[in-house]
Amino acid sequence: MDAFSNFLIAAAGTFIACSIAVPLLLWIARVAGLYAIVQERRAQVYVLFGKVIGTIDEPGLHFLPKKLGLSAFLVNWLGKCHEVDLRLDQTYLRSQPVNSEEGAPMGIGIWYEMFVSDPVSFLFKNTDPSGSLSANVSNSTVRCLSNMPLADMLVNRHVMSDTVRNEVTPKSHEWGYKLGSVYIRKVHFRDAKMIKQIESKVVNRLRQVTSAIKQDGANQVNIITSTAEKTAAIELAKAAAVRPEIVGNALRDISADPDVAQAVFDVLEAQKIIGGQATVTLVPSSGGGLLTELLAAQQPRSESSPPPLKK
C-alpha cells in the first residue's frame, strides 16, 4: 500500500471520528452532567429529589459541577431540568364588564405585557400562573374601575391603567411574573339599545348644531349687508348736502373776476350747444348783412321730409 492510500484512509478515519465520535462524546458529557448550554432569554431550573438545587438564567455554556457541585452528575439521571421561557409576552382581555356610576353597562378592553422574573416561583408556586395572572387582571379591572363616573371612564384611560397595574403587580410577583405596561385600549357600551339611543341623540344634536350654524351665518350676512347699505346711504346723503355749498363757493370765487366768469359762462354755453341736437352754423363777424339773412331764411330740412320732385 502506497503513501497516498494511507493518507486517504487516515483522512476518512478522521472525518468519521469528527462527524460521529465528537458529537457522541459531547452528548455523553452533557448527559453525565458536565456542561449545559442555555439559550437567550431562557432559564434552566434543576430539581433533584424534589428540591431545587440550582437555576441558570445566563445564556451561554456553563460547567455544571461548578454551579451545582457533585449533584450535577446525578441531576440528569435522578432529577429533572425545567426550561423556562423568559421572553416578553402580551395578552389582551376583551370587554371586561363594569358599570359606571350612573349605572351604564360598560365594557373595557385591557392589554398588558409580562415576563417571567422568578423561574422557581413560576414553576412551583402556581400550577397555572398565566391563567391566574389573566384572572387577576380581569378581576382587578372589574373591581377597581366599577362605579366610576362615565365621563372619567371615557377620558382618563391613563389613570385607569395605572390603577389596574398597581393592583395586579404585587400578586404577579408572588407567581414569578413581572408585569410590564398595562393599557386600557377600549371603553364601549355593552347595551345595544343604549348605543342606538346615544347614536340618535348625537345625530339630532348634530342636526341642531348644523342648523344653528347656518342660521348664524345668514344673520351675520344680513347684518353686514344692512350695515353696508346704511353706511352708503349716510355717505350719499352727506355728499348731497355738501354739493350745493361746494358749487356755491366755486361760483362765488369765479364771479369775483368778471373775465373769468364770462369765460366760464361762455364755455358752459358752448358745451350746452354742442351737447344739444340743434344745427349750428358759424358766421364770420365781418360777413353780416345779406349772408346772414339768407341763412336765417333757409328752412332746415328734416331727415324725415321727402326729397324734392324732379321735373
**Helix locations, 177-275, DSSP H:** 192-255, 258-275
- The whole-angstrom separation of Cα 64 and Cα 8 is 39
Do residues 99 and 143 touch, judged by C-beta distance below 8 A? no
Q: What is the band of 311 on the pLDDT scale with cuts at 50, 70, 90?
A: very low
Which tens digits make up the pLDDT trace of 275-309? 877 777 776 666 556 767 777 676 555 555 555 55
User: Would residue 225 be called left, alpha or beta, if left means φ above 0 and alpha means ψ between -120 and 50 degrees?
Assistant: alpha
pTM, entire model? 0.58
C-alpha cell at 285: 363777424
Which tens digits make up the pLDDT trace of 184-241? 988 888 888 888 888 899 999 999 999 999 999 999 999 999 999 999 999 999 999 9
Q: Percent of the chain, pLDDT > 90?
A: 32
**149: helix, coil or strand?**
coil
CATH number for region 88-194: 3.30.479.30
**CATH 3.30.479.30 domain extents, the chain:** 88-194
